[in-house]
Each structure stands twice: as C-alpha cells, then as structure tokens.
C-alpha cells in the first residue's frame, strides 16, 4: 500500500495473518465426519499410508484452490457410496473470521461459499487464502520434462495475475492456429507470408509478457531460494535456478523468422516460450544427475519455501504451508534445520503429515511453538 501524505511517500507493508481455526468434513473421501480445531502455528497428522492423513491435507488445499491436488474430478472426493460431501473451514484472516465452505454433489456444479454467500466465479476465491503445498510428487519437477517446470512457474503467476493467465491461454491458442497453418501449407504445397505473419504477431503479443513475468519471478525468488537451501542443508554448495529461454539471446521476432523454413519442414512451431525451461543446478551442475537424493529433497523444499516468500510478499498475506509426507526422505539433521526455520516468524501456520508419530514428536520436542497432534487411523481422526 502506498500513502501520500504531505508530499512524503510512506510505504507501508503490513502482512496479514491467516490461519485455519477449524475444519469440518462430511463424507469427504475416506474421512469420517469430523470437526478439528487447530493450532495457529504447527499441526501434525500422523498415521499409516492410506489412513487418510493426506486427504486432510487435500481438504485444506481445497479450501484455498477450490480443487483437489490428488484427483482431477470432484466426484472422486465424495465418500464411496455417498452423493454429496462438504468441506468447511473457519479462518482467522487479520483477526476477522471467514467461513469458507465447499459443497460437492455428484453430477452437479460444486458450490463455494464465503460467509454464506456463493461465489459466482471460483477464480474470485483464488488468492484469498494463499497456500503452498510441499508433496512427494514435487520430485517430478526434477525428474520430468520441461513442461512440468513451465507449468510450475505459470501456476504461481496465474494465481497473482488474471492478465497473465489470459496471455497464457491466448498464446496456447495462437500456437495451435500457427501449427494448423504449417500443416495446411505442407499438405497443400502452398505458402502465404501474410497468413503466417498474423499468427507470429499473436505469438509475440501474448508470448512477450509471459517471458517477462517468468523471468521476473525467477529473479525474485532466487535469493530466497539460495538462502533457504543453505539453512536447510547446512551446505555451502551453491544452488542455482535459471530461467532459460530462446528469447534471452535473440528477439522472438527474429527467432520465428530465422526458423520459418525449419518450422515449415517440421510442421510445427519450434521456437517460443513454449520451449523454455527452468534449470536446476548444484555447484554448477544439473541437480538431476549430480544431486544426491537428500540434496534434491532440500532443493525442492527450498524452492517451495521461496515460492512461499514470493507469495507472501505479493499478497501481503501469510500463506498456509502444507508439508505432506515429506519427512521420509530427509535425514534428521535437515529436518531439524527445517523445523527451526518454520518456527520463526517468517512462517505462519504449518500442517505436517508423517507416518511415525513418535519420530515426529521427538523432532518437534525442542520447538517452543504451539504444536497440535492428530492421529489418523482408517479415516478416523483424533486429537492427541
């Protein structure tokens, strides 16, 4: 927020506190009807795999993003044999209570309510309750192809900026149109410069802002990321995060122009921001090949925490942090470092899930923050 007062410019950055006070679930996946009260700092769900602890994480994720991080279809979130499920969360948002409820009925549109008022468009809700999820599937960011990493960047940016999302959609469509035209030219043995140029222009119009926003995002999170990596791993080894684009060296216009013959032969568009990648490195080498499993885990964790810092700075609001089943692959030294970090004031409310209650409790013993434990067994959740 920027105030102008008597000619002096004050910049006032106040971070709003957000935490989930209680969660109520009805027929949600395998979880038995329950109402849980949470600590405003650290909450732990422990139970065996398949017990339902990840489903609790998913319910909290739902309340922020109106969708599951596990199932693409809402109907799969309804308990087997039931027609309807409900997720309700009471939040403390800057000392004000917000009631968010999601109601899913098989075969109907889901309804999301804020303080008993239905949202007309679900996108209007996204961003109200910022959230960062750390899950075992994060490893795909390292192991999978560049599409996964672009999706990650675009996902963060889309949450902030509906204009960015619009550019992304239009870019994708322009690309489909240009590729269709390239195929047509090949099939008809015909070429028409004006026809291809109009799609080049559309790619430029929507691609340049995407390139700019992605570059900005990477530059902004890099210092946080490097700092967090050091603090979690305790290593001195430098980690890198670099956005690589064909547009870094050559203008997009020239790229398209220079590769036109090639594109005509390939029948698709070989250059553009749809080919960009994010390079993950450790000590100057690709982490995928040169990082140990522990280093890769720390790397991803630091990345997610940097995303947290970025979100917090942009939204001026504390995101909720979900750490799903993460402890398995980190050694206890790193876990201790992480917990000390999370205990600090930079982080707000945290939810952790693990299979081993005794281990988790042992690690959290030295932490002064308020910790609330829940055991999960066959969908039954109990406060310990």
Partner 1 sequence: MESSSKYLQNAVDALSSLPGIGRKTAMRLALHILNRSEEEVADFANAVAEMKAHIQFCKKCFNLSDGELCAVCSSPKRDRNMLCVVEDIRDIIAIEATHQYFGRYHVLGGVISPMDGIGPSDLHIEELLVRVKDENITEILMALSTTLEGDTTSYYLSKRLSEFGITLTTIARGVSVGDNLEYADEITLGKSIVHRVPYETSINSQN
Residue 105 burial (CB < 10 Å; 0-12/13-18/19+)? middle
Q: Looking at 82, 97, 162, 184, which residue binds partner 1 (CB under 8 A)?
A: 184
Taking the complex as a whole, the smallest distance from the CB of residue 176 to partner 1 amounts, in Å, to 6
Taking the complex as a whole, the smallest distance from the CB of residue 268 to partner 1 amounts, in Å, to 12
Task: Verify binding: residue 174, partner 1, rule CB under 8 A.
Answer: yes
Taking the complex as a whole, the smallest distance from the CB of residue 254 to partner 1 amounts, in Å, to 20
| Cβ neighbour number for residue 77 with a 10 Å cutoff | 23
- SS3 category, 257: helix
Residue 192 or 331 with smaller CB distance to partner 1: 192
Q: Looking at 41, 149, 150, 178, which residue binds partner 1 (CB under 8 A)?
A: 178
Taking the complex as a whole, the smallest distance from the CB of residue 192 to partner 1 amounts, in Å, to 8
Residue 39 or 174 with smaller CB distance to partner 1: 174
Token reading at 25: 């679930």
Task: Verify binding: residue 168, partner 1, rule CB under 8 A.
Answer: no
- For partner 1, the binding residues in 134-153 under the rule CB under 8 A are none
Residues 6 or more apart whose Cβ sits within 8 Å of residue 32? 379, 380, 381
Q: Looking at 33, 123, 147, 180, which residue binds partner 1 (CB under 8 A)?
A: 180
- SS3 category, 340: helix
Task: Verify binding: residue 251, partner 1, rule CB under 8 A.
Answer: no
Backbone angles phi, psi at 269, to 5 degrees: -85, 110
Residue 80 or 190 with smaller CB distance to partner 1: 190
111-114, strands of its sheet edge to edge: 34-37, 18-26, 84-93, 96-105, 111-114, 117-118
How far, in whole angstroms, is CA 193 from its chain's centroid?
A: 41
Task: Verify binding: residue 194, partner 1, rule CB under 8 A.
Answer: yes
Strands 84-93 and 42-46: unpaired
Task: Verify binding: residue 308, partner 1, rule CB under 8 A.
Answer: no
- For partner 1, the binding residues in 199-238 under the rule CB under 8 A are 199, 201-202, 205, 209
Choose the binding region for partner 1 from 46-54, 68-76, 193-201, 242-250 (rule: CB under 8 A): 193-201
| Cβ neighbour number for residue 369 with a 10 Å cutoff | 15
Number of residues in contact with partner 1, rule: CB under 8 A?
19
Beta partners for residue 3, in sequence order: 10
Residue 37 or 212 with smaller CB distance to partner 1: 212
- For partner 1, the binding residues in 12-31 under the rule CB under 8 A are none
Strands 350-354 and 42-46: parallel
Q: How far apart are CA 66 and CA 59, in angstroms?
A: 9
Contact (CB, 8 A) for 380 and 55: no
Choose the binding region for partner 1 from 17-25, 93-101, 192-200, 348-356 (rule: CB under 8 A): 192-200
Task: Verify binding: residue 198, partner 1, rule CB under 8 A.
Answer: yes
Taking the complex as a whole, the smallest distance from the CB of residue 121 to partner 1 amounts, in Å, to 16
Residue entry with tokens 């910022």? 130
Q: How far apart are CA 119 and CA 121, in angstroms?
A: 5
Taking the complex as a whole, the smallest distance from the CB of residue 257 to partner 1 amounts, in Å, to 16
Q: How far apart are CA 104 and CA 111, in angstroms?
A: 7
Residues at the interface with partner 1 (CB under 8 A): 170, 173-174, 176-178, 180-181, 184, 192, 194-195, 197-199, 201-202, 205, 209
């Amino acid at each position: 927020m920027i105030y102008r007062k008597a000619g002096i410019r004050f910049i006032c950055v106040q971070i709003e506190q957000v935490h989930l006070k209680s969660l109520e679930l009805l027929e949600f996946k395998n979880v038995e009807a329950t109402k849980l009260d949470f600590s405003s700092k650290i909450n732990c769900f422990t139970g065996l795999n398949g017990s339902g602890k990840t489903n609790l994480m998913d319910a909290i994720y739902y309340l922020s993003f109106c969708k599951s991080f596990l199932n693409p279809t809402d109907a799969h979130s309804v308990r087997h044999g039931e027609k309807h499920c409900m997720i309700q969360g009471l939040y403390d948002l800057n000392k004000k209570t917000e009631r968010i409820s999601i109601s899913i009925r098989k075969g109907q549109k889901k309804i999301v309510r804020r303080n008993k008022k239905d949202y007309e468009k679900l996108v209007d809700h996204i961003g109200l309750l910022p959230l960062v999820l750390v899950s075992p599937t994060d490893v795909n960011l390292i192991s999978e192809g560049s599409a996964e990493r672009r999706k990650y960047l675009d996902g963060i940016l889309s949450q902030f900026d509906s204009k960015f999302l619009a550019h992304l959609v239009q870019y994708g469509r322009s690309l489909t149109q240009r590729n269709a035209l390239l195929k047509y030219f090949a099939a008809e043995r015909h070429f028409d410069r004006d026809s291809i140029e109009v799609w080049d222009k559309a790619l430029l119009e929507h691609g340049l802002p995407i390139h700019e926003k992605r570059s900005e995002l990477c530059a902004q999170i890099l210092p946080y990321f490097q700092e967090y990596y050091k603090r979690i791993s305790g290593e001195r080894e430098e980690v890198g995060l670099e956005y690589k684009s064909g547009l870094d060296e050559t203008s997009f216009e020239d790229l398209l122009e220079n590769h036109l013959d090639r594109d005509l032969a390939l029948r698709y568009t070989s250059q553009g921001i749809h080919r960009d990648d994010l390079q993950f490195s450790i000590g100057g080498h690709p982490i995928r090949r040169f990082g140990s499993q522990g280093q890769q885990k720390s790397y991803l964790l630091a990345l997610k925490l940097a995303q947290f810092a970025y979100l917090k700075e942009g939204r001026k609001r504390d995101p909720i942090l979900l750490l799903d089943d993460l402890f398995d692959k980190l050694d206890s030294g790193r876990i201790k470092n992480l917990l000390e970090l999370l205990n600090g004031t930079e982080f707000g409310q945290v939810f952790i899930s693990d299979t081993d209650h005794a281990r988790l409790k042992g690690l959290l013993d030295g932490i002064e923050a308020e910790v609330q434990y829940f055991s999960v067994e066959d969908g039954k959740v109990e406060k310990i």
